[in-house]
Chains A and B, each alone.
Chain A
Amino acid sequence: MPCPDPNPNPAAAAGADRGDGDSMSEVIDLYKRDVDRSLLRDRLKRTPEERLIDLMRMQRLAEEVARAGRRARDAEGSPHRRPAP
């Protein structure tokens, strides 16, 4: 007997890949339950320009994190890496 997936992907579960309109709406409704509405209400208090400035801040942060991750990976692979104590 097939084992149910403990972490089903809502999109796949509702057959969104088929492009079926009804199943698409079902998936969207599933996702909608998890939308953080308090975050949206907070965003709505800002001007469009403030929202775009926030976006650029987030992009900068994401880039910094990606750079730090690359540095950490490079250090792991480096022959000069210090052995763990």
Chain B
Amino acid sequence: MTDLPSLIEALADRGVRFIVVGGVAGIAHGAARTTFDVDCVYDRSPENVSRLVEALSPFHPCLREAPAGLPFRFDVATLRAGLNFTLDTSAGPIDLLGEVPGGGDHDRLLPHTIEIEVFGRRCRVVSLRRLIELKRAAGRPKDLEAIAELEALEEERGSS
């Protein structure tokens, strides 16, 4: 199970600039589909990456489904050298995305977000409209059912 309160608390309390996207964003908007990881687009500025490392290190992040013995150090240098990371942590799986197809990086996505309050913290979530656009841009067959639900959700919100 993903310990969302702990992850959100750790990230928010360290002042990490991040945007929740993907399935968890859909659920925050009202979607009913279950997901098992948290997707976050993070700001790649050096100071933010440093805060991100500080916030998540207590959860002992490691690469998800990486071959046993593959060396991985969760630190600023590693995050700066890469872009997207699929991680397992003691608080559950989390994907750290430097960019998303069709949405760009954190700063490009920022105008298309809303702020929500959950577990006593404020965090940014991609807007429902942008989430649909991101999933359409990704063009993955596995997302088509999810897009249908998100569009139906958008229609329901519009009619309520």
Establish whether residues B119 and A43, one from each chain, have CB atoms under 8 Å apart when the complex forms. no
Instruction: Find A48's partner among B2, B28, B32, B160 (CB 8 Å cutoff).
Output: B28
Indicate if A71 sits at the interface (CB-CB under 8 A): no
Indicate if A41 sits at the interface (CB-CB under 8 A): yes
Residues of A within 8 A of B144 (CB): 10-11, 16, 24, 27-28, 31
Indicate if A35 sits at the interface (CB-CB under 8 A): yes
Give the interface of B toward A (CB within 8 A): 1-4, 24, 27-32, 34-36, 116-119, 125, 136, 139, 141, 144-145, 147-149, 151-153, 156-157, 160
A16-B144, A24-B144, A55-B24 are known contacts; what are 8 more A-B pairs with Cβ within 8 Å?
A12-B141, A28-B151, A32-B148, A40-B32, A40-B156, A48-B117, A49-B119, A51-B27
Establish whether residues B30 and A40, one from each chain, have CB atoms under 8 Å apart when the complex forms. yes
11 CB < 8 A contacts A-B: A31-B149, A37-B152, A40-B152, A41-B160, A43-B30, A44-B30, A48-B125, A51-B27, A54-B27, A55-B24, A59-B1
Q: How far is the CB of B136 from chain A (nearest CB, A)?
A: 7
Residues of A within 8 A of B156 (CB): 37, 40-41, 44
Indicate if A84 sits at the interface (CB-CB under 8 A): no
In the complex, chain A residues 26-70 whose Cβ is within 8 Å of any chain B Cβ:
27-32, 34-37, 39-41, 43-44, 46, 48-49, 51-52, 54-56, 58-60, 62-63
Establish whether residues B118 and A52, one from each chain, have CB atoms under 8 Å apart when the complex forms. yes
Residues of B within 8 A of A11 (CB): 141, 144
Q: Which bracket fits the contact residues of A?
A: 35 or more
Establish whether residues A39 and B32, one from each chain, have CB atoms under 8 Å apart when the complex forms. yes
Given the interface pairs A16-B141, A41-B156, A49-B117, the reply to whether A62 lies near B34 with Cβ below 8 Å is yes
Indicate if A19 sits at the interface (CB-CB under 8 A): yes
CA distance A51 to B103 in the complex (A): 25
Indicate if A17 sits at the interface (CB-CB under 8 A): yes
Q: How far is the CB of B140 from chain A (nearest CB, A)?
A: 9
Q: How far is the CB of B158 from chain A (nearest CB, A)?
A: 11
